[in-house]
């Protein structure tokens, strides 16, 4: 695989000087994915599951084939894949349905300060309303979730464990497999926020044995507005829908209703058909690139970036032991937003902010950090541009010190 060839697949990168290093926020979208989306809108454009005419049949077929692609991709059954608007709505679905119906006063819900707001806030809400207790895994010195620390908060009262697989703010990989095993010994249900994992490494939900897992299409070369909730079928079947209306029903009477089986009872209304089809295209695209290549490329670039950054003075790296392509840092004495404007002038796209992880920012004692996040289409030149921009920001603001 040649990165420069891969870069030609992306309109945003082809013939541009942009160093796109905000992949944790959203990845860029390659041409084959855009072609699939266009195919639906241009050649089909009709609803699914309803029409008996050929176009509708074709659209339905593509939509459901995308579901099968997701199932094969994460190693689960077809009917265990619920399409949602993204990771956030997938995580909310579990909390709103299972959480609101099963959690009782005094139950304990484990989460962490390393979570994206979308992973912890739905459970904070459940805990508040149901008078359950929200318990945080103590982070270690590096702000990592460890198995040892997880054991300290796991108890017979633990009903839910809601944790990230890869942290969007620090790039750490949670030892999720061991955590799932331990949680299951206590009969707790584990919900994995895999929004930053699925795009970058091969994920097998059966091997993990997680009960639920959520991710978004737009961070893995797919469209925005589509995501996935994986749930073990027996859980999905026993859960109440949270939205009611067209398509999700079996029989409708004046006072009673029966629902379709999962996943359809969670998919009311006309879905994002093109989005699901585009996500299927993204999976094909990623599998063609291959996770071996993706992991290797990100690791090489991360090593190079850290090496170059460590040569610079007046830089604080918050996660020098990051295990993925996410690097969080600040230029000492320069507010991250001021630095970001310098980067923007040099066509370096990074993120400055709290990364939807305010509790972690409190832990780090920072208002915000600068985050560079890599994907397989980045190259050394992108890193060199970033390093040059960091130097420029340093010298520019040094004038005023």
Partner 1 sequence: MSYGNLETLYRQVIMDHYKNPRNKGLKSGEDYYQVHLKNPTCGDDLTLQIKVKNNYITEVHHDGSGCSISMSAASVMSETIMGLKIEDAKKIIDNYLHMVKGEAYDAEIDMGDAIVYQGVSQFPARFKCATIAWNALDKVLEKHKVPDEK
Q: Does 344 help bind partner 1 (rule: CB under 8 A)?
A: yes
Nearer to ligand PLP, 360 or 386 (CB): 360
Q: Does 261 help bind partner 1 (rule: CB under 8 A)?
A: no
- Least Å distance, CB 86 to partner 1, is 18
Residue 247: which region, alpha, beta or left (left: phi > 0; alpha: psi -120 to 50)?
A: left
Beta-bridged to residue 160, according to DSSP, are 109, 189
Q: Does 216 help bind ligand PLP (rule: CB under 6 A)?
A: yes
- Which residues between 176 and 195 bind ligand PLP (CB under 6 A)? 193, 195
Q: Does 392 help bind partner 1 (rule: CB under 8 A)?
A: yes
Beta-bridged to residue 133, according to DSSP, are 108
E-assigned strand segments in 217-350: 227-231, 249-252, 257-259, 315-317, 326-331, 348-349
Q: Does 30 help bind ligand PLP (rule: CB under 6 A)?
A: no
- Least Å distance, CB 240 to ligand PLP, is 22
Secondary-structure percent of the chain, ordered helix, strand, coil, rounded to 5: 45, 15, 40
Cis peptide, bond prior to residue 142, ω within 30 of zero: no
Q: Does 86 help bind ligand PLP (rule: CB under 6 A)?
A: yes
Nearer to partner 1, 38 or 341 (CB): 341
Nearer to ligand PLP, 119 or 322 (CB): 119
Q: Does 93 help bind partner 1 (rule: CB under 8 A)?
A: no
If binding means CB under 8 A, how many residues of this protein chain bind partner 1? 22
> What distance in Å separates the CA atoms of residue 122 and residue 84, rounded to the nearest whole number?
15
Q: Does 350 help bind partner 1 (rule: CB under 8 A)?
A: no
The entry of ligand PLP, partner 1, none near residue 86 (CB within 5 to 8 angstroms by kind) is ligand PLP
Q: According to CB under 6 A, which one of 23, 88, 174, 369 is a site residue for ligand PLP? A: 88
Q: According to CB under 6 A, which one of 60, 196, 322, 379 is a site residue for ligand PLP? A: 196
Q: Does 359 help bind partner 1 (rule: CB under 8 A)?
A: no
Nearer to ligand PLP, 122 or 263 (CB): 122
Angle at 383 between CA 377 and CA 388, to 5 degrees: 145
Nearer to partner 1, 3 or 361 (CB): 361
Angle at 156 between CA 154 and CA 159, to 5 degrees: 75
Q: Does 119 help bind ligand PLP (rule: CB under 6 A)?
A: yes
Stretch that binds partner 1, among 98-106, 215-223, 275-283, 388-396 (CB under 8 A): 388-396
Angle at 333 between CA 332 and CA 338, to 5 degrees: 105
- Which residues between 225 and 244 bind ligand PLP (CB under 6 A)? 227
Whose CA is closest to 369, among 324, 339, 325? 339
Q: Which residues are catalytic?
A: 356
The residues, ordered by sequence, that sit 6+ positions from 124 with a Cβ below 8 Å of its Cβ are 111, 134
279 phi and psi, to 5 degrees?
A: -65, -40
Q: According to CB under 8 A, which one of 43, 178, 345, 347 is a site residue for partner 1? A: 345
| 265 DSSP 8-state letter | G
The strand pair at 212-216 and 227-231 is best described as: antiparallel
Q: According to CB under 6 A, which one of 27, 92, 168, 324 is a site residue for ligand PLP? A: 168
Nearer to partner 1, 6 or 389 (CB): 389
Alpha carbon distances (Å) from 187 to 109, 155, 160, 161, 180: 12, 10, 9, 11, 10
CB 195 within 8 A of CB 215: yes
- The three-class DSSP label of residue 137 is strand
Q: Does 112 help bind ligand PLP (rule: CB under 6 A)?
A: no
Q: Does 378 help bind ligand PLP (rule: CB under 6 A)?
A: no
- Least Å distance, CB 187 to ligand PLP, is 26
The strand pair at 315-317 and 326-331 is best described as: antiparallel
Stretch that binds partner 1, among 22-30, 59-67, 377-385, 391-399 (CB under 8 A): 391-399
The entry of partner 1, ligand PLP, none near residue 352 (CB within 5 to 8 angstroms by kind) is partner 1
Q: Residue numbers of the site for ligand PLP (CB under 6 A)? A: 24, 86-88, 116, 118-119, 164, 168, 193, 195-196, 216, 227, 356
């Amino acid at each position: 695989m040649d990165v420069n060839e891969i870069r030609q697949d992306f309109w945003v990168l082809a013939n541009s000087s942009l160093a796109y290093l905000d992949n944790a926020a959203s990845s860029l979208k390659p041409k084959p994915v855009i072609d699939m989306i266009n195919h639906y809108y241009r050649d089909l454009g009709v609803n699914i599951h309803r029409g008996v005419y050929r176009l509708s049949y074709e659209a339905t077929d593509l939509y459901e084939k995308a579901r099968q692609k997701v199932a094969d991709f994460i190693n689960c059954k077809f009917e265990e894949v619920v399409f949602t608007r993204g990771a956030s709505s997938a995580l909310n679905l579990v909390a709103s349905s299972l959480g609101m119906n099963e959690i009782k006063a005094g139950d304990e819900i484990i989460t962490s300060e390393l979570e994206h707001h979308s992973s912890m806030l739905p459970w904070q809400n459940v805990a508040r309303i149901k008078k359950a207790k929200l318990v945080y895994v103590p982070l270690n010195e590096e702000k990592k979730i460890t198995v040892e620390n997880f054991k300290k908060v796991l108890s017979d009262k633990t009903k839910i464990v809601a944790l990230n697989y890869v942290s969007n703010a620090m790039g750490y990989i949670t030892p999720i497999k061991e955590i799932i095993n331990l949680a299951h010994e206590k009969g707790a249900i584990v919900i994995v926020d895999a929004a930053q994992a699925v795009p970058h490494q091969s994920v097998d939900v059966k091997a993990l044995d997680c009960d639920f897992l959520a991710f978004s299409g737009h961070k893995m070369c797919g469209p925005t507005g589509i995501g996935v909730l994986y749930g073990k079928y027996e859980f999905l079947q026993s859960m109440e829908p949270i939205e009611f209306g067209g398509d999700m029903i079996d029989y409708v009477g004046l006072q009673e209703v029966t629902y379709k089986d999962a996943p359809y009872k969670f998919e009311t209304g006309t879905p994002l058909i093109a989005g699901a089809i585009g996500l299927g295209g993204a999976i094909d695209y990623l599998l063609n690139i291959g996770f071996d290549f993706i992991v290797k490329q990100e690791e090489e670039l991360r090593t190079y970036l850290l090496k170059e950054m460590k040569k610079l003075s007046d830089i604080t790296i918050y996660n020098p032991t990051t295990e993925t392509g996410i690097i969080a840092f600040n230029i000492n004495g320069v507010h991250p937003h001021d630095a970001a404007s310098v980067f923007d002038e040099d066509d370096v796209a990074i993120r400055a902010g709290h990364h939807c992880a305010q509790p972690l920012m409190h832990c780090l004692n920072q208002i915000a950090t600068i985050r560079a996040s890599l994907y397989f289409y980045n190259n050394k030149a992108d890193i060199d541009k970033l390093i040059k921009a960091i130097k420029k920001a340093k010298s520019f603001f040094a004038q005023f010190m």
